[in-house]
Structure 1
Amino acid sequence: MPKKVRIALDAMGGDVGASVVIPGAAISLTRHPDTEFLLFGDRSVIEPQLAKHPALKAVSSVIHTDVAVSMHDKPSQALRRGRKTSSMWLAIDAVKKGQADVAISAGNTGALVAMARFCLRMLNGIDRPALAAIWPTKHAKAVVLDLGATIGGDARHLVALAAMGSAMASVLFDKARPTVGLLNIGVEEMKGHEEIREAGEMLRAMNLPQLDYIGFVEGDGIGKGAADVIVTEGYSGNIALKAAEGSVRQMMDLLRSAIEASWLSRIGYVLARSAFRSLREKLDPRNYNGSVVLGLNGIVVKSHGGTDADGFAYAVDVGYEMAKYDLLNKINQMLKSDGGTLVPASATQEAVS
């Protein structure tokens, strides 16, 4: 019998907690029936929701805790107050103990990254975690990282991001050698900060067999699908993410206003309804929910806190695929593939202090 994928869920995380987490898990279970769940949170809240989904209840275990990390807690506060007792911590700790293959939370991003780093520690040779997410492009999808887990980074950090992002893309897109680009202010080799130029030189010289480095990519290249993986440090990555989210909302608002402007435009909408439906599906953020916290000695997925059940289901799908297709092993292979350039011989695992 094939091995089950065991998923630990922070059932109290997000804007509304179990009322989204439980039905979202139920939706994902229909797509991945070889899944089992560990649900961490308040039993009195979880069990009424679970009773509505018998198939999910049959493959789930509830681990009670009435401690939940607030969406407004600072990471340091969450570590002090919620360490070893909160639903978020317990879900991550289940991965550390081998009780689960992946932990998923829609809770406080800073707290999740801090707790995951403290509990699981970093992979050998990786200094800091990174948030990697799926991004819609003109023809398909791309993996973009770092989207704000940490700020700044030298050339070796960017190269490590390229390696980890490539491993994630190979799992999601079933590509043996994903294309990788470095986000920059221009495609010319002399442009950008010294760290970006140095990282580009390193990636060209290394010529890693598991990724195809194509050079620098400008901001508009992300949506055009210039590469399967776009790499940047967390500050510019988070700005790019928020700018893209805002642009999509603005475009949809302007489109709605234009459609409602006259009876003629309403008729045009009716005639082109299938095209508008396709556009809405393509840009629906729920279909790209689920950021992977890369660089950890374990798999952790961050769902958007304000998503609905369908959106949370996509985050569970991402976690399932990362575990099922052995993301950690692929990352370790990438980090060791150049005889120590990515992972210096002196590198050791570290814990967050």
Structure 2
Amino acid sequence: MPSVELGEEEFRERYLQQFADPKFADLKEELDRIAAVAWDGYSNSRKAPVTAKAGPGYADPDYDLSVDWIAAKAAVDAAQREYDSADRPPRLLFVNASSRSEHTCPGESSKSWRMVKMAADLAKADAAEVTILDLSRLASEYGRNIYPCKACFSTAAPLCHWPCSCYPNHSLGQVQDWMNDIYPMWVKADGIFIVSPVNWYQVSSPLKLMMDRLVCADGGNPDPTLTHGKDAETAKAIELDHWNYPRHLAGRLYAVVSHGDVEGAENVRRSISDWLRFMKLEPAGPKAEVDRYVGYWKPYAISHDELDGDLGMQGEVRNAAATLLEAVKLKRAGKWVAAGASLHEPRQK
């Protein structure tokens, strides 16, 4: 594929674009020095400028791992210990997948956010521990990024590290990646509740970014020293030899609500549900999967009024949350029946 390498002049021009505010003009000499350091990091590919030895528990304890990844792995491991603990209330993660909010250009909150609040409030009232992941912050909050998946998994499963080690990439300025905070949210949750609008017949762009970056949770490698970082040939040999595709989120339960105004809601709900099922999460029940139309072929200007008037839709959202919470309680009590759970999988991927 064509080279993506930049020359120093072009790199410098791009780097300094973030300081276009005239208020930075008095800092030109300082910015010149900073840009020179950034160029040095870029030209020498210092993706992970700060590392530490992997230490005990890794295939190669002497391998230098990024301290960013070490911290991310520690957070995921801590979340798994929380998930495994018995003496705690049921824990649900609610995901608002709409990028719209009143804090930036649209100037108005989304219907998805309102539905998430309806569902989360019901769960809180029933003594559940609730976390809300508001993906609209990608568009409205400073320093919130989810970078695209590089599809390491498609080269070889062990090349895809759990949690993802592709970011941050300091040499490319790909920092402030939100996924290292998001992975533990998923790991420690008993149930996941996703509300997504239809965006051009598809899930929303923030949700799709998160979906792609969660590929490492489904067969990803928890030990980057096995593959010496990103050594593709080593990873291929490991996959062909013995890889067992660990399902890091298997057994969590889920509910999905998709909503549109013209068409596509059914397909969005199915695509989210299919993705979750493939990762070995389990549907909480028929009432936990909802696809509906709010303000069908009506002006967008009255869409919130349409939701206000659609008491049936509001009721279905709350029922989906109640179904998820009921299923989580049953599972934690050992009363959940997942038929076929003990059957041998004839294929992994």
TM-score range relative to shorter protein: 0.3 to 0.5
TM-score by length of 2: 0.33
TM-score by length of 1: 0.32
Name the larger-Rg structure.
2
